Structure 1
């Protein structure tokens, strides 16, 4: 029996061009000694008519080579977590943890920066017992403030997947509110860290790189914000893999990042910097001491205990 796929796709599914895919196994770049480790994210640039033939996959460093369907997993949705947020009921009374994120937490705020807040809410048991279940995620806006709140189980699941946006919530230096449950969640945050972080950060980096390059290829201009987040994510990912910790405040790179955001750095220089940092990122992954998997059992115990407080 063949090994099951984590993306649950049938063997005849054709991966569309433009899809982000993840290497299931280490693969050597043809004609070189470079090895792309399992978990590396690439983009399908050419798809076959059937899965009897390989796909052409391009990686952030420009390397392209052909890989079979069985060597790839389709990376679904990690980078669009916040895009799926919808307006919902007022959950503010049930928020157990709220922080500041975005430029104010990154150490990159300017006078015009908005305030971005993220929170975790723990609804009462009645909400789960009712026919209409609580939302997994809600968002709302007031003047100059945007807030996204996740239901606690959804948040824990995303944290176990090493979603960068979620990890930044747990490590944000700007805590606005926390109760007993929120404090416990923050104190157990290292349980969510694993080498899987390489895959998720790679996916986010590739998304930003693709957005930046697409704009430049179209009109010889790029969006500085995409470029800035690309470099910021690489700095953050390198630190996480090396130190086993998440550093949200990237103030030590403030001059570099703000110069990019202001559009003062040519595309070619940003691209070269991204490729340089990506090589460092891969080296950090190779030597990282993070565990292979997060501590799911600890996360499960926390979630059950939190739920019992609302019964």
Structure 2
């Protein structure tokens, strides 16, 4: 793969990792341009476990980012990268232009609501409670990220106070309905005026993708 950007995401990036945590990696790659015009299109995503790694093809990655997908979007806001290329740097410089107010609100609240549903449905045995606490931590993290994006147009991947999030996750695992108040509070804040535009700059994203295709085109041999 022609990897453009790659780095460590998940609990390690958030500052929530513990001794048994997996190390999750996320990246984006450019398919050879000629392969996009054949009978069969190349795979848009490569996902493996042990280690947990996801790579999205450039077009799919940008579509996810334009939809404000919380997981895909993190790739543009990491403090450190394992792979960082000039084309990757170009997209990092465009990261704020890919965000938009309703997109952030719908995506982040949608993912947080999913975590709330999982939190409420967990069996309260030892394994179920551990998973519930993890769902709660994700919920808290998503709400904090949504509020930061809405008010500043910036995303800080590493949590400001990971220990507070751990403690709150344990508390919400014991009292899941408390999370409903957190969701409602963030939803109210995201409906107030913020720093994000009404729509993303799709033209800038399209122009970047054209540069990726030009850079990875190899003419056919005679």
Larger Rg: 1
User: CA shift at 1:111, angstroms?
Assistant: 2.2
Identify which range, 178-187 or 291-300, moves more after superposition. Answer: 178-187
Q: 1:192 aligns with which of 98, 107, 113?
A: 98
**Distance change (3 Å), C-alpha of 1:154 and 1:212:** same
**Distance change (3 Å), C-alpha of 1:177 and 1:238:** same
**Distance change (3 Å), C-alpha of 1:278 and 1:99:** farther
- Asked whether the 8 Å contact 1:105–1:174 carries over to 2, the reply is no
Residue 159 (structure 2) pairs with residue 256 (structure 1): no
Q: Matches of 1:163 and 1:185 in 2, distance apart?
A: 16
Residue 121 (structure 2) pairs with residue 210 (structure 1): no
Unpaired stretches in structure 1, ≥5 consecutive residues: 1-90
What residue number does 2:189 align with? Answer: 283
User: CA shift at 1:310, angstroms?
Assistant: 1.0
Normalized against structure 2, the TM-score is what? 0.88
Unpaired stretches in structure 2, ≥5 consecutive residues: 218-222
Q: 1:225 aligns with which of 114, 131, 134?
A: 134
User: CA shift at 1:119, angstroms?
Assistant: 0.5
Structure ranking higher on relative contact order (CA contacts 8 Å, 6+ apart): 2
Q: Matches of 1:289 and 1:308 in 2, distance apart?
A: 34
- Asked whether the 8 Å contact 1:241–1:285 carries over to 2, the reply is no
Give the total of aligned pairs. Answer: 213
- Asked whether the 8 Å contact 1:235–1:277 carries over to 2, the reply is no
**Distance change (3 Å), C-alpha of 1:121 and 1:224:** same
- The CA deviation string for residues 106-142 of structure 1, in whole angstroms up to 9 with x for no partner, is 0112222221110101011221122121111111234
Q: 1:296 aligns with which of 202, 208, 218?
A: 202
**Distance change (3 Å), C-alpha of 1:264 and 1:278:** closer
Q: Matches of 1:301 and 1:265 in 2, distance apart?
A: 44
- The CA deviation string for residues 152-204 of structure 1, in whole angstroms up to 9 with x for no partner, is 00011111111111111111223111111111111111111110210111110
User: CA shift at 1:289, angstroms?
Assistant: 2.6
RMSD over equivalenced CA pairs, Å = 2.1
Residue 216 (structure 2) pairs with residue 307 (structure 1): no
What residue number does 2:220 align with? Answer: none
Residue 31 (structure 2) pairs with residue 140 (structure 1): no
User: CA shift at 1:274, angstroms?
Assistant: 5.0
1:109-148 matched pairs, under 5 angstroms: 109-142=17-50, 145-148=51-54
- Asked whether the 8 Å contact 1:205–1:233 carries over to 2, the reply is yes
Higher strand proportion, which one? 1
User: CA shift at 1:276, angstroms?
Assistant: 3.4
Q: Matches of 1:179 and 1:114 in 2, distance apart?
A: 26
- Asked whether the 8 Å contact 2:6–2:27 carries over to 1, the reply is yes
SS in 2 for 1:114: coil
- Asked whether the 8 Å contact 1:95–1:121 carries over to 2, the reply is yes
What residue number does 2:151 align with? Answer: 242
Higher helix proportion, which one? 2
Where do 4+ consecutive residues of structure 1 move more than 3 Å?
263-266
